[in-house]
């Protein structure tokens, strides 16, 4: 009868009314997240630029750690070389002169940095390649968002996950936005470009500056502290772990109220749950 025909018609289309899968994205910071690059590559490169330009100047760990509160390498140079300090070192003291000089210095710094990374002196952080592999296999959008120069970011990314996987990862870097972290602009651009939903986009950061940028963009943020950021305030992060962890080599779980890193390993499946 009619009831049987209606039932048959509906059952012939299983899943017809199921909701579409929720698209997901994961966005990694670069320096300190993919690899702990700041002390062993960026700082080394900055000091080499100073030496090449005849400045008897060498930033130490303490000075560089303070400057890391400023997002962007050119911006750090401007923050350090105030007009008064620039005059002391015989550098242009006017804003335009300093900016033009530091564009050149930063370009050279990026070249030195890339050489150091490709030389293999800075290993990728635990769990990075595994988690990126998992996310890409699940069909997630994967990206890197950083204030570093794009050439530097791509060098670190290829070093961390290999050229083939790196080619599947979107990169947002350098001066693609005017306002650097802690402004949210780089993350807002990433979400818009990936056509992702903030509610299903995860960020992996290592610093309070990066956390502030991601949170201002409305994104859930995981923290893996790096050399210079272990004492940062990570209030607002959904999980804080020493690294992303590997099976057999778990991370130290610093704070994980949501159970995203059981056994000290952060996985894509756990992030979804």
Structural tokens at position 36: 């702990």
Cα(210)–Cα(155) distance, integer angstroms? 20
Task: State the DSSP code for 12.
Answer: T
| Residue in the structure block whose two tokens are 């893996």 | 224
The three-state secondary structure class of 183 is: coil
Indicate if 61 belongs to the active site: no
CB atoms within 10 A of CB 126: 18
Q: Count Cβ atoms within 10 A of the Cβ of residue 252 and give its class: 0-12 exposed, 13-18 middle, 19 or more buried.
A: exposed
227: number of CA atoms within 13 Å, CB side?
20
CB atoms within 10 A of CB 176: 16
Determine contact, residues 203/214, Cβ cutoff 8 Å.
yes
Cα(9)–Cα(31) distance, integer angstroms? 56
Indicate if 175 belongs to the active site: no
Cα(236)–Cα(73) distance, integer angstroms? 26
Bridge partners (DSSP) listed for residue 171: 144
Structural tokens at position 140: 């997630």
Helices (H), the chain: 2-11, 37, 43-52, 61-67, 73-80, 83-88, 95-118, 128-137, 150-161, 163-166, 185-194, 208-216, 268-272
Residues that are catalytic = 29, 31
């Amino acid at each position: 009868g009619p009831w049987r025909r209606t039932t048959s018609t509906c059952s012939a289309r299983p899943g017809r009314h199921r909701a579409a899968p929720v698209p997901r994205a994961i966005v990694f910071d670069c320096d300190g997240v993919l690899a702990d690059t700041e002390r062993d590559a960026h700082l080394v490169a900055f000091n080499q630029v100073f030496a090449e330009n005849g400045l008897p100047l060498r930033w130490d760990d303490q000075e560089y750690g303070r400057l890391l509160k400023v997002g962007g390498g050119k911006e750090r140079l401007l923050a350090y070389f105030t007009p008064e300090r620039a005059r002391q070192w015989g550098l242009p003291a006017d804003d335009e002169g300093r900016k033009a000089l530091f564009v050149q210095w930063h370009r050279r710094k990026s070249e030195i940095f890339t050489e150091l990374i490709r030389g293999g002196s800075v290993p990728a952080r635990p769990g990075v390649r595994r988690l990126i592999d998992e996310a890409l296999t699940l069909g997630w959008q994967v990206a890197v968002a950083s204030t570093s120069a794009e050439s530097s970011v791509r060098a670190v990314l290829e070093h961390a996950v290999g050229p083939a996987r790196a080619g599947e990862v979107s990169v947002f870097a350098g001066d693609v936005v005017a306002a650097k972290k802690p402004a949210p602009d780089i993350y807002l651009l990433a979400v818009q470009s990936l056509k992702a939903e903030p509610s299903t986009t995860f960020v992996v950061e290592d610093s309070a500056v990066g956390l502030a940028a991601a949170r201002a963009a409305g994104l859930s943020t995981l923290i893996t502290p790096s050399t210079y950021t272990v004492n940062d305030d990570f209030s607002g992060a959904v999980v804080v772990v020493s690294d992303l962890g590997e099976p057999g080599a778990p991370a130290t779980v610093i704070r994980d109220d949501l159970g995203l890193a059981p056994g000290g390993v952060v996985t894509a499946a756990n992030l979804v749950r």
